[in-house]
Structure 1
Amino acid sequence: MADLNHIALFAKVVEAGSFSGAARALAMPKATISRKVAQLEEALGARLLQRTTRRVTLTALGRAYYEDAARGLASIERAKERIAASQAEPAGTLRITAPVGFGARKLMRWIGEFLQAHEKVRIVLKLTDDPIDLIGNGIDLAFRTGKLPDSSLITRRLGTSRLALVASPGYLGRRGCPQRIEDLKTHDCVAFGPSLDNEVWRLKGPRGWREVPVHARIAVDGSYAEVQAALAGLGIALLPLALIRHDIETGRLEQVLAEYGVDGGSMNIVYPSNRHMSAALRAFLDFIVVKTSSPSEQTPAQAANSA
């Protein structure tokens, strides 16, 4: 079996272009490096390098071996960095962005718990429903919903939440509770978006998908404002259960036409390449993954899927 240290020396020779260059970079005797690379070739039973007095060149087998070895060595280095980061005490400033509704109603509470556990960490939180250029704005991590565009960012899906029809007890007391999906046409609804006109909800029920034109009395741009409109009794709203779970449990909102809704609303975390990740960011990522997998924090849809 090839010695990992010999493989690393071989890679350094290739990258330096010569045994002399590798010796200078590593502060090792040239003869030692040459001998260990020769031992690697002997262990593999193949010549990896063609040697001349001034430089070395890769053989065909050597090139293929180097490409695979370089990827393996890079993976080992990343693993070492992860271990070092996990052993370091989280400290420093994290810059995070999240949608307004999720940030105000859920993330803020989680951040409070995280900061209590890590006294040397500080957080700058920007709540916005607009996409932000993470790298250009120096953002360490973003929470984003829905379908994500292709990018060089690392993406991790936290879970999904069903969109459900809800209204306040006050509204339902005044207007009654819809019994059929067609009844939505006669109710006031909260529209999500910039317009009151031509609002159509596409909902999945026992007999498949149904499209229902609804009458919007108010249109809001942002999930937080949509929740507040529903709580204020302004109509029936179509909202993520993950966002309003506590409101339903405490009776501030009631679910209507529970057999209808929309599945698949997702929450993701995105961040730049995890190479050289700080201990603070890694600790926060681990914390969020634990929180979103906790039964007490799951949406009803997530809990049903994990049962």
Structure 2
Amino acid sequence: MTSVSLYWRIFGLNALVLGAATALLLWAPVTVSVPVLLTEAVILVGGMGVMLVANAALLRIGLAPLDRVTRLMATVDLLRPGQRLPVRGGGEVAELVSTFNAMLERLEKERAASSARALLAQEAERRRIAVELHDEVGQSMTAILLALKQVGDEAPAPLRGEIQQVQEITRASLDEVRRLVRRLRPGVLDDLGLVSAVTSLATEFATHTGLRVHRRFGADLPTLDNGTELVIYRVAQESLTNVARHAEARSATVSLYREDDRVVLEVTDDGRGIGAAHEGAGLRGMRERALLIGATLDVTPVARTGTRIRLAVPAVRKQS
């Protein structure tokens, strides 16, 4: 059955009301006097009121989906997929809603694909930079340390103290380079697994920021594929970085556990809370990584003060 369009429904209702008014004037004992009598004015005003109410009701019902589309268009975020409008009835309005939902689905898929390509390129670039830092800069600084030690052993006593100071500065710089390499390319993740990598990350974070970092790991964590483990590690890394930069916290807790058919990462702090601030590049980057593996990311305030970042990942086991 072909549905009647909104245009013809409005036109038909107006034609019905005007036709009824015309028939009433033609065949009913209703006349309009000059001057107009009170009863005639009541009939005319009442008829006009009925027509206006009927038109308003039809427009309200017929155009309500357009209002919902407008509100969703103003608030839709492709990093929070699944936002759709219900399709009710038929006609061009229902077709518009269906087309809008299909457009959202297509945009979400395209956004996920483009984000995946960008994140893979970013990880490849990080690996390249880490290798260059390790192989070129790290080895060069190691050679400088060996040369300084040899010079220090042969130098006269008055110069040895200054050479030792240069050695300490070079050694500290080498340690910083190694730390950057670990941040760019978490080799412990490939060698020892996710729990060891997150443990190392939390320990290093506490050492360099002075914050207390508590760790809570479940005992029944499944073995995940490399891409999923990397996303969990990067979200934990970015979450702790946000705590250090913005939260003004004294401590943070990193939890990793299994919940039904999902692996959950939680990073909670006791800082000033997220409030009504807009999400920055860090949080949006985490959402893009979550979409890459079909996970969900929630950022919520905790009791009194602080923020909780929760990443729920489907527990798909590593392919052997």
Pairwise same-fold verdict (TM > 0.5): no
Q: Normalising by the residue count of structure 2, what TM-score does the alignment of the two structures yield?
A: 0.24
Q: Which has the higher contact order (CA 8 A, sep 6+)?
A: 1
Greater Cα radius of gyration, structure 1 or 2: 2
Q: Normalising by the residue count of structure 1, what TM-score does the alignment of the two structures yield?
A: 0.25
Question: Higher strand fraction: Structure 1 or Structure 2?
Answer: 1
Question: Higher helix fraction: Structure 1 or Structure 2?
Answer: 2
